Structure 1
């Protein structure tokens, strides 16, 4: 790691994260800058690969190079547990960097290399500074610039790294049940044009528009494959009002209840796609935020802010950092409303 440490994180417990970030930068620099390869496939040493792993990446390489709205191609699906996947040929876009077996182009590396993090990237969130490691940094909007990664429905990698730098976070509950693809897919016979922009948005929009809207509570009453009629819809949409509601749904289904940069893992524009109950069923969770409700909440917050500001002015002995904190919260909320997908 050339002896450097992120300020404030010099303790030995953070050494693994410094080494990981430095190692990624060294490898990417060596292969893409010095040896001038046009793309690199990054594969961690605690991953088992599927039988069609290399063929999968070989046929997605031209897709990645041809579409500037793509950030990477990944072999990983965060929601790839056995009960939620079925079709080994279906691929999706996600605007949350998946990691765990991923391909990057030299063009993308030229953009990322000058600002690659030493180990951590501290992002202010309200009054708290959140630690972000290299992969969290890569998920931030400043890096993604609204670009997506391609990921499979059925995982092409399986992690057996229960004990690592992150101390096996989520392993037993979410990573151990991941299903590794066993089907030898002939990727040369697959049509992949739908993954390109703008075809993908048209494809996913059609899927959503043709699906049946149901409440989350109605999942238990959907027919099973043995009792379903030919006229029943195979695609369903469940709307969620905010991220907390989605996380509640995720916990009920034992999906990973985690977000990255405010987005559900594996999601694309707020849509999380899984299969449930029977192989031909898709459950789509769609992001929907009521703008009027948000603006009313913001006006209520402003009223509270100004009242508290007046109170602080009357108490001269209060520390000025409280006033700064209030101002910072106000700015962050304004930024959120401007960037919210209304």
Structure 2
């Protein structure tokens, strides 16, 4: 069972700059505990360290027990939490532990000048995954009325579900969604495999700031392009046929597809997170992205956990790019 209950999200995820973007969608005042997890401005490095990364992942010997007794499992490495002994993972002995406090905080802290600050940080999957987001203080609003925040996202894991990665993403303020539609899949993203003796050549603060501003320029250009792309009602229906086709055979798949198309159309026509850009390419991508974040079926995890895991693994970026490619194909055909 996922541990990312509302209480977990409101105590183990820190959200900054709420004066600029409001509360996170999973915010629940009653689950805040003694200390609120929302900060009106940037999140101090000391707070991230104290509240999230005040423990370490420790190597541990692995044993097997069978009819021959208890024996050490050679060439295997356990990873446990220093504060409570939780078993985080078992790997081969080639695995290298990347401490969150070092790889996500100390390394990122070196970038926090020239206008960059921590905008969010959190733990997921019972502390097996973590992230820290570096942001500029102010939202950016395009001439088309799209408000967003560029991020340099640092993430890692102790269970090998994520490489340690520094990547470019965008937060869409109106719906608290993460988007990646116009950003290159390669370049400016740096991943380090969890291997013994792995190390990081840290970006300079100037390089990091340039990356964040490059995100803003690229994303704004893509928003402008999509807002200038006309999508007629006929083209919208053609997009739905390509993006969410209805199977010929009756059954659950057909019902699910019909429900998804209905939800997308509702977002397109009457939801204020999408409808202001109806009949544009941006409206199409916004409908698809908002549906995935807030309405698509989720199994085996809470929605917030699944959304963030998709961001960290790059799945949302691929989804946005796929929807954009589908839209261009449809417009070329109609």
TM-score (norm 1): 0.29
TM-score (norm 2): 0.29
Q: Identify the structure with bigger relative contact order (alpha carbons < 8 Å, sequence gap 6+).
A: 1
